[in-house]
Amino acid sequence: MCGYAGKFLEIDLSTKNVKEMRFNEEVLRDYVGGRGLAAKILWDRLGNRWETVDPLGPENTLLFLTGPLTGFFPGGRICVSGKSPQSNGVVGSTVGGEFGIELKCAGYDGIIVSGESEKPIYLFIKDGDIEIRDASHVWGMDAKRTVATLTRECRTILKQRYPLKGEWKEPAILYIGPAGENKVRTAVVAAKWSHAAGYGGYGAVMGAKKLKAIAVKGTGPLPEVADIEAVQRLMQEVCNNAYENESWRRWGTGSGGYEFGAMTSSEPVRNWQEEWHNEKSFGVDKFENRVWIKQYWGDFGCPTTCLKLAVVRFGQFKGAITDNPDYELQAYLGTNLGIFTPEANVYMASVIDDLGLCGIQTGNVLGFVAELFQRGILTKEDLDSIEPKWGDAEAFAVLAKKIAYREGVGNILAEGTYRAALKIGGLKGVDVMPYAVQVKGIGVGAHGIRSGKDYPHICSYVCSVQCGDHTSVAYMPLDEPNSEHIRIFDDSGVICFFNTFGLPSNLVFDFYKAVTGIELTKDEWVSTKAMKIIQLQRAMLLLGGPDLKWNPEIHDDNPPRFYEPLPSGPFKGKTLEKARVDEEKRKYYALVGWDERGIPKSDILKKLGLHDVDKALEKLR
């Protein structure tokens, strides 16, 4: 089938058995790739025992999946998925870099990893040659040293094995840092130094499987496409659109820390106690002129190159190197911790990246702890002598290290905001859930909804099948450009959402046709295929287990904080009304075919051909 390499790699780390497998064309047509295909694979393999599957146990299946548009649509990404140790459902988490392209050039559309290894290993894939290699020498290494060591090692192997080929380019590497190794639920699957598949906590799944990294070098071309001229024309159209949007290219979302956040009053400040600040010291000009040393940085084929490289050259945080901070990390490792200087923010981001933690999820849990400290619920004694005062980057960095290594109080915080809140609430005999800004186990992205000026709606997180994920929010109407039903296409074709900004919404479907030869309209996508993926993800989220289960009547809700009035800024006093949220929620349920309790109804599941899902959900009805 055009656009696909044609086969998947399947590896059982318990038995070290490696084989190739294929999906029939119908499955690929229905689920496309990436997030869609992940939902299908996970349901087929684990669906009948979903509630007993421990995300951090050997039975969990970890997926690294490309989509048909990967490599063709400008900007390279790959989708990581599995049963999430955060939500206990399925999250399609994508990460930028060259991994997806190298994998396709090696002849594979994806990698399916099951079982768990006894000893630390990494996979080295060179076209059809698959090696399971010892990783004990890189186990424990931080992000930068892991990348440096494995890049050197793999290039040496390639040069020795194929001396006549000339100089070998480095392989693409996905890996985990210490946080993943220690099964921290906020650990990422990382690429380069700081690119991360953050939502979902799949770094912990890699760690549980003792899979430190996957390195891949493919020497083949990208797969055949149905119409190369149309693909080239569309590529140019995407590029031209990007070139016209110079402010987006120049600043990306990195302009957000002051400009966007202040404008929309939707940025977390001190664990969301506020969503507005007036610290101009945190403006994009400060970042640009003080720490950004590379103005344009991007991944495979990207015309936008919205990433930046930042280095702190002097002062207290000298030597900190990291790629962003983009809007999310400026918020979560900046404003949300009361940090308002670029240098401290870059330092926090570099610490988090080196440890292999998620900037959003860890920033969320650190903000939560700092508020508990502010309120005197947690004391210096509870926190191993650390005092997480707002703005104290050093203190937050020490806490982050404790989380990554599960030391002392870090062992509780390593469970993520929701689970930590349950634990701390129990230990202290105080309900701390009002300070946990999360939805169904996933810390909410840095886009508040109280002001009504940002893009998520009042039910966006409530109804999303990826919970607090700000890149996949529920919307009405379902075919709105930001809607989860549309975004699932990016995550399934596996392309970069940021390169779709400003393009007509049917362009990605034209692109899909040019690559695969298959006609797909937006309406068809939204009403059938996206709908099917949504139902699968919703079913697995609700089945949950084994440690947590979600009851939509309780857990399909915004964090309590969002019902408090905004205390400052131009939208001071604005808040959400619970009755309005419930009304919207009911409307959304009806629109996507869920009953009044939020459980997918039989008729829609049967209409979509999901009879087994219907049967499995019987027990919840």
Partner 1 sequence: MWIARELSKCSGCRRCEIACSLFHEKRIWPEASRIRIFMLAPGVEFPHFCAQCEDYPCIEACPTKALSVSKETGAVLVDANTCVGCGKCIEACPGRIPHMHPTENRILICDLCGGNPQCVKVCQEGLWGVLRAVPRRTHPYKLYARIPEEIARDLAAKILGEEGEHLL
Part of the chain binding partner 1 (CB under 8 A), chosen from 4-12, 61-69, 214-222, 427-435: 214-222
Q: Which of 91, 147, 536, 610 binds partner 1 (CB under 8 A)?
A: 147
615 binds partner 1 (CB under 8 A): no
Nearest-5° angle of CA 122, CA 199, CA 56? Answer: 55
572 binds partner 1 (CB under 8 A): no
Q: Which of 27, 132, 222, 507 binds partner 1 (CB under 8 A)?
A: 222
The three-state secondary structure class of 96 is strand
- Please enumerate in sequence order all residues whose Cβ is within 8 A of that of 576, keeping only pairs 6 or more positions apart, or say none: 449, 450, 458, 558, 562, 563
154-173 binders of partner 1 (CB under 8 A) = 155, 163-167, 169-170
CA trace torsion 445, 446, 448, 453 (10° rounding): -120
228 binds partner 1 (CB under 8 A): yes
Query: Rounded to an integer, what distance in angstroms lies between the CA atom of residue 545 and that of residue 53?
Result: 7
276-295 binders of partner 1 (CB under 8 A) = 293-294
Minimum CB distance to partner 1, residue 87 (Å): 30
Query: Rounded to an integer, what distance in angstroms lies between the CA atom of residue 180 and that of residue 177?
Result: 6
Q: Which of 267, 275, 299, 584 binds partner 1 (CB under 8 A)?
A: 299
Give me the helix-helix angle, 530-543 and 484-493, nearest 10°.
Answer: 100
4 binds partner 1 (CB under 8 A): no
Instruction: List Cα–Cα distances, 402 to 316, 385, 408, 492, in angstroms.
Output: 21, 12, 7, 35
Q: Which of 2, 132, 151, 226 binds partner 1 (CB under 8 A)?
A: 151
Given a contact cutoff of 8 angstroms between Cβ atoms, the answer to whether 242 and 304 are in contact is yes
Minimum CB distance to partner 1, residue 319 (Å): 6
105 binds partner 1 (CB under 8 A): yes
Instruction: List Cα–Cα distances, 38 to 129, 256, 406, in angstroms.
Output: 24, 32, 30
Q: Per DSSP, what are the bridge partners of residue 113?
A: 11, 62
Q: Which of 180, 298, 416, 569 binds partner 1 (CB under 8 A)?
A: 298
296 binds partner 1 (CB under 8 A): yes
For residue 621, give both structure tokens: 């009805």
Minimum CB distance to partner 1, residue 224 (Å): 8
Is 268 or 303 the residue whose CB approaches partner 1 more closely? 303
User: Taking the CA of residue 555 as centre, how many other CA atoms within 13 Å lie in the half-sphere pointing to its CB?
Assistant: 21
- Please enumerate in sequence order all residues whose Cβ is within 8 A of that of 104, keeping only pairs 6 or more positions apart, or say none: 5, 66, 70, 71, 218, 222, 223
315 binds partner 1 (CB under 8 A): no
243 binds partner 1 (CB under 8 A): yes
Is 267 or 299 the residue whose CB approaches partner 1 more closely? 299
Q: Count the site residues for partner 1 by CB under 8 A.
A: 48
46-85 binders of partner 1 (CB under 8 A) = 71-72, 74
377 binds partner 1 (CB under 8 A): no
- Please give the single-letter amino acid code of residue 535: Q
Given a contact cutoff of 8 angstroms between Cβ atoms, the answer to whether 309 and 324 are in contact is no
354 binds partner 1 (CB under 8 A): no
Query: Omega before 325 cis (within 30°)?
Result: yes
The three-state secondary structure class of 67 is coil
101 binds partner 1 (CB under 8 A): yes
**Buried residues in 513-549 as b, exposed as e (16+ CB within 10 A):** bbbbebebebeebbeebbbbbbbbbbbbbbbbbeeee
239 binds partner 1 (CB under 8 A): yes
302 binds partner 1 (CB under 8 A): yes
Minimum CB distance to partner 1, residue 214 (Å): 16
Quickly count: other Cβ atoms within 10 Å of residue 116's Cβ. 20
- Please give the single-letter amino acid code of residue 339: I
Part of the chain binding partner 1 (CB under 8 A), chosen from 36-44, 52-60, 313-321, 331-339: 313-321
Q: Per DSSP, what are the bridge partners of residue 438?
A: 443
414-453 binders of partner 1 (CB under 8 A) = none
Part of the chain binding partner 1 (CB under 8 A), chosen from 28-36, 98-106, 393-401, 611-619: 98-106
Q: Which of 29, 45, 133, 144 binds partner 1 (CB under 8 A)?
A: 144
Q: Which of 116, 323, 382, 614 binds partner 1 (CB under 8 A)?
A: 323
254 binds partner 1 (CB under 8 A): no
From the centroid of its chain, how far is CA 431? 29
Minimum CB distance to partner 1, residue 235 (Å): 8
User: Exposed, middle or buried by CB within 10 Å (0-12, 13-18, 19+), for 230?
Assistant: middle
230 binds partner 1 (CB under 8 A): no
Which DSSP state fits 511? H
Q: List phi, psi (to 5°) of 172.
A: -90, 140
311 binds partner 1 (CB under 8 A): yes
Minimum CB distance to partner 1, residue 440 (Å): 33
309 binds partner 1 (CB under 8 A): yes
Is 158 or 520 the residue whose CB approaches partner 1 more closely? 158
401 binds partner 1 (CB under 8 A): no
Part of the chain binding partner 1 (CB under 8 A), chosen from 151-159, 394-402, 542-550, 552-560: 151-159
233 binds partner 1 (CB under 8 A): no
Residues that bind partner 1 (CB under 8 A): 71-72, 74, 98, 101, 105, 144, 147-148, 151-152, 155, 163-167, 169-170, 192-194, 218-222, 228, 232, 239, 243, 293-294, 296-303, 305, 309, 311, 313, 319, 321, 323
